[in-house]
Amino acid sequence: MSIFVDDDTRVVVQGITGGEGSFHTDQMLAYGTNVVAGAVPGKGGESVHGVPVYDTVRQAVRKEDANASVVFVPPAFAEDAIFEALDSELDLVVAITEGIPTQDMARVNRRLREVDTRLIGPNCPGIITPGETKLGILPGDIFAAGSVGLVSRSGTLTYQVVDNLTARGHGQSTAVGIGGDPIIGTTFIDTLRAFDADPETDAIVMCGEIGGEDEEEAAAVIDAAIDTPVVGFIAGRTAPPGKRMGHAGAIVSGGGTGTAASKIAALRDAGVTVPETPADVAAAVDELL
C-alpha cells in the first residue's frame, strides 16, 4: 500500500508552461504519473508534452477529473495558486515553490483548517510512491517499491538516505518531503500517523534537522501512539549556534530545544534508533526488519 498518493492519483500541474513546470511534468510523465492537465491563467487551450492546459484548476478538475495538484509557480504568485487549488476541493496539493513569504503561508495555513485538502510543502521535493506515481522533483530512479516509509524535511538528505536504503534492498512504501520552511502543511506527526496506519509499512525513517521543535513534538507522539518502529536522523549536529543552515526553519532559537542534541535526546527517549550519519540509517533499518 501507500500513503497520500497512488496510481489512481490524477494530477494537474500549476505553472506547467514555465521552465520548471514543463521540465518536471516531462519527468513525472516518464515515471508514469497520471498528469492529466496543466493550469495557467491565460494559457487555456495550449498543450505541454501532450497535456492539455486550462486557465483554472477548477476547469481541470471538471474536465479531467483531477484530484491533486503540483505547484510550480513563482513565490510572488504561489499563495494565490495554493488558494485556487484549495478552492477547487482537491484531495492533495504539493507546493514545490521555495521562497514563499512567511506571511503568505500564514494565510494559507489558516485556510487549511477550513478545508479537507492536504497540503505538502512548500519548499519541498514532493512525494513518491515507488513504481506508481511521483508528484514533484524527486529523482525516481533511486527509489524502489517496498515497506519502509520515509518522511524528511530535507530533499537532499532524502535522496542520500533513499539511495542507501535501496542499495541495501529496503524499498519504500512512500517517501514524503514535507519541506523545511517555518510554516508547512503536512507535518512529521501527520505523516508518522499515516505510515503507522498503513499495514504494508513495516518501518519508518524520519529525517529531521536543527531548528524549530517539530522533531521533539514528533518524538512525543512516537512514544505515545506510534507502533511501527522508527529510525531517525538529525542533520546539523556540527552547525554553529545561531547560524542559518539552508532552510528557513533550520534556525536554533534557544531555550533548550531546536538543537541537534535536544532532538536526538527526545527521539532516543521515545525508543527511536538515531544513527550518527545518514549512511548508517540503512544499517539501522536492517536491524529492525
Hey, which residues does 205 pair with through a beta bridge? 150, 231
Q: Are 150 and 175 in contact (CB under 8 A)?
A: yes
> Could you give the strand order of the β-sheet that contains 145-152, starting from the edge strand earlier in sequence?
133-136, 126-129, 172-177, 145-152, 203-209, 230-235
**Do residues 172 and 276 share a domain?**
yes
Last residue of a domain, one of 60, 87, 120: 120
Which of the listed residues 90, 120, 150 is the one where a domain comes to its end?
Answer: 120
Query: Are 171 and 38 contained in the same domain?
Result: no
Block residue for cell numbers 504494508: 200
Q: What is the DSSP string of 55-69?
A: SSHHHHHHHH---EE
Specify the number of domains making up the chain. Answer: 2
Q: Is 247 a catalytic residue?
A: yes
What CATH number is attached to the domain comprising 67? Answer: 3.40.50.720
pTM (2 d.p.):
0.94
Task: Judge whether 129 lies within some domain.
Answer: no
61 and 180 belong to one structural domain: no
CA angle 105, 206, 123 (to 5 degrees): 25
Whether residues 274 and 150 share a domain: the answer is yes
Same-domain pairing of 149 and 278: yes
Round to whole Å and give the CA distance between 135 and 71: 10
Q: 256: domain CATH number?
A: 3.40.50.261
Tell me: do 184 and 238 sit in the same domain.
yes
pLDDT tens for the chain, 289 residues long, are 799 999 999 999 999 999 999 999 999 999 999 999 999 999 999 999 999 999 999 999 999 999 999 999 999 999 999 999 999 999 999 999 999 999 999 999 999 999 999 999 999 999 999 999 999 999 999 999 999 999 999 889 999 999 999 999 999 999 999 998 999 999 999 999 999 999 999 999 999 988 888 999 999 999 999 999 999 999 876 555 555 555 555 454 555 557 888 999 999 999 999 999 999 999 999 999 8
Q: What's the alpha-carbon Rg for the chain, to the nearest Å?
A: 18
Residue 2 placed within a domain: no
Domain of 27 in residue numbering reads as: 10-120
Are 147 and 250 members of one domain? yes
The answer to whether the beta carbons of residues 161 and 168 sit under 8 Å apart is no
pLDDT on residue 211: 80
Of 59, 92, 120, the residue at which a domain comes to its end is: 120
From the list 24, 49, 170, 247, the catalytic residue is 247
Q: 37 lies in a domain?
A: yes
- Shared domain for 148 and 277, answered yes or no, is yes
Integer Cα distance of 33 and 30 in angstroms:
7
Q: Are residues 152 and 278 in the same domain?
A: yes
* Pair 166, 283 in one domain: yes
Instruction: Tell me, yes or no, whether 57 lies in a domain.
Output: yes
Q: How many helices (H) and strands (E) does the chain have?
A: 9, 13
**Of residues 62, 118, 111, 128, the one with CA closest to residue 95:** 118
The Cα–Cα gap between 117 and 61 comes to: 14
Render the burial of 68-85: b for 16+ CB within 10 Å, e for the rest: bbbbbbeeebbbebbebb
Please report whether residue 130 resides in a domain: no
Question: Is 34 part of a structural domain of the chain?
Answer: yes
Query: Do residues 97 and 183 share a domain?
Result: no
**pLDDT computed for residue 210 by the predictor:** 84
Are both 149 and 102 inside the same structural domain?
no
Q: Decide if 5 is inside a domain.
A: no
